[in-house]
């Protein structure tokens, strides 16, 4: 019988335990990957519905409800950011497209031109969610992201069929300081964006978070209330929003969309 107190036995036993544990973890990761991806997509699509105002933050939103909306009222499409054109539906499934993974893959992305939003790479394709009403496009939801104070901020912005009026906003992944910059996740602050304009009269993305209070949307359409004690985050939100509304982001697409380009 092996000497269980010998160094050789201890080392072999520890190695066997490590191999067994690694095997269990690897198998579990492979088996759980489909469920993890499904849950991640459900969370993302729930936030698309929030940005579009189709559900409220207090609503219980499960997979069945999300599927019901996407079967009838929401249509996901891919946009070629370099041209602003929609990718043919039969080329790739937009709902299963992982925009973050595409951005990080050199084969499906490109280096972003110098910018102040902290964006290093851009995916070649980005997702746009068309929200339908009475058989026609009523609004579109785009993905926005950029560097905040403590990390990358991810969100969705809904734009009216006119291509410029903001219908809704949500940030679903952010690491800003709770009670300060973290207020970007507050439904009350997000509601301040509704009715504002993404572009000025010359078509430039000028919507900005200011220091202090802005006027009502009809009188002060290009400015949003700043967050007390969160100047860095407020400026970051301005920069990343303007970036994605520009021709570097969804700008070319939104111009086509605002002119009534066919879905």
Whole-model pTM: value is 0.86
Average pLDDT, the chain: 90
Say if 193 falls within a structural domain. Answer: yes
How does 130-151 read in b/e, with b if 16+ C-beta sit within 10 Å?
A: bbeeeeebebbbbbbbbbbbee
Contacts of 88 (CB under 8 A, 6+ apart): none
CA gap 227, 232 in Å, rounded: 10
Say if 139 falls within a structural domain. Answer: yes
Query: Alpha-carbon dihedral of residues 12, 17, 20, 23, nearest 10 degrees?
Result: -100
Task: Using pLDDT thresholds of 50, 70 and 90, give the confidence band for residue 4.
Answer: low
C-alpha distances (whole Å) from 137 to each of 27, 129, 183, 214 are: 44, 10, 31, 30
Say if 53 falls within a structural domain. Answer: yes
How many Cβ atoms are within 10 Å of 6's Cβ, its own excluded? 10
Residues 50, 169 contacting (CB under 8 angstroms): no
- Mean pLDDT across the stretch 66-79? 96
Say if 184 falls within a structural domain. Answer: yes
Query: Please, what's the largest Cα pairwise distance for the chain?
Result: 88
Say if 23 falls within a structural domain. Answer: no
Please tell me the predicted confidence (pLDDT) of residue 219: 96
Report residue 114 as tokens. Answer: 């110098």
C-alpha distances (whole Å) from 31 to each of 27, 34, 35, 40, 101 are: 6, 7, 8, 16, 20
pLDDT in tens, 207-244: 999 999 999 999 999 999 999 899 999 999 999 999 99
Query: Alpha-carbon dihedral of residues 25, 26, 30, 33, nearest 10 degrees?
Result: 50
Please tell me the predicted confidence (pLDDT) of residue 26: 60
| Domain boundaries, position 253 | 44-258
pLDDT in tens, 104-144: 999 999 999 999 999 999 999 999 999 999 989 999 999 99
CA gap 138, 74 in Å, rounded: 10
Query: Alpha-carbon dihedral of residues 55, 59, 65, 67, nearest 10 degrees?
Result: 50
First to last CA, the chain: 75
Say if 201 falls within a structural domain. Answer: yes
- Mean pLDDT across the stretch 181-186? 94
Report residue 128 as tokens. Answer: 């746009």
- Tally the domains of the chain: 1
- Mean pLDDT across the stretch 78-92? 94
pLDDT in tens, 34-72: 556 767 788 999 999 999 999 999 999 999 999 999 999
Say if 165 falls within a structural domain. Answer: yes
- Mean pLDDT across the stretch 241-257? 96
Say if 174 falls within a structural domain. Answer: yes
Helix-helix angle 63-72:7-51, to 10 degrees: 50
């Amino acid at each position: 019988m092996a000497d269980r107190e010998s160094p050789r036995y201890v080392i072999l036993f520890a190695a066997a335990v490590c191999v067994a544990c690694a095997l269990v973890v690897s198998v579990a990761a492979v088996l759980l990957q489909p469920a993890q991806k499904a849950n991640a997509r459900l969370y993302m699509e729930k936030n698309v519905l929030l940005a579009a105002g189709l559900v409220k933050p207090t609503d219980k939103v499960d997979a069945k409800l999300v599927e019901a909306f996407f079967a009838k009222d929401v249509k996901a499409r891919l946009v070629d950011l370099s041209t602003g054109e929609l990718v043919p539906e039969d080329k790739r499934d937009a709902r299963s497209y992982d925009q973050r993974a595409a951005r990080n893959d050199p084969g499906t992305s490109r280096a972003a031109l110098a910018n102040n939003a902290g964006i290093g790479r851009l995916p070649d394709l980005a997702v746009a969610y068309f929200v339908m009403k009475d058989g026609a496009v009523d609004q579109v939801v785009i993905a926005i992201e950029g560097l905040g104070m403590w990390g990358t901020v991810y969100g969705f912005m809904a734009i009216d069929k006119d291509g410029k009026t903001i219908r809704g906003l949500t940030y679903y992944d952010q690491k800003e300081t709770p009670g300060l910059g973290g207020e970007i996740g507050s439904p009350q602050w997000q509601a301040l964006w509704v009715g504002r304009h993404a572009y000025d009269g010359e078509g430039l993305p000028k919507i900005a978070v200011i220091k202090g209070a802005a006027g009502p949307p009809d009188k002060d359409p290009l400015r949003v209330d700043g967050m007390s004690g969160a100047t860095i985050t407020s400026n970051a939100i301005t920069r990343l929003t303007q970036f994605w509304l520009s021709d570097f982001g969804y700008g070319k697409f939104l111009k086509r969309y605002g002119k009534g380009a066919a879905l």
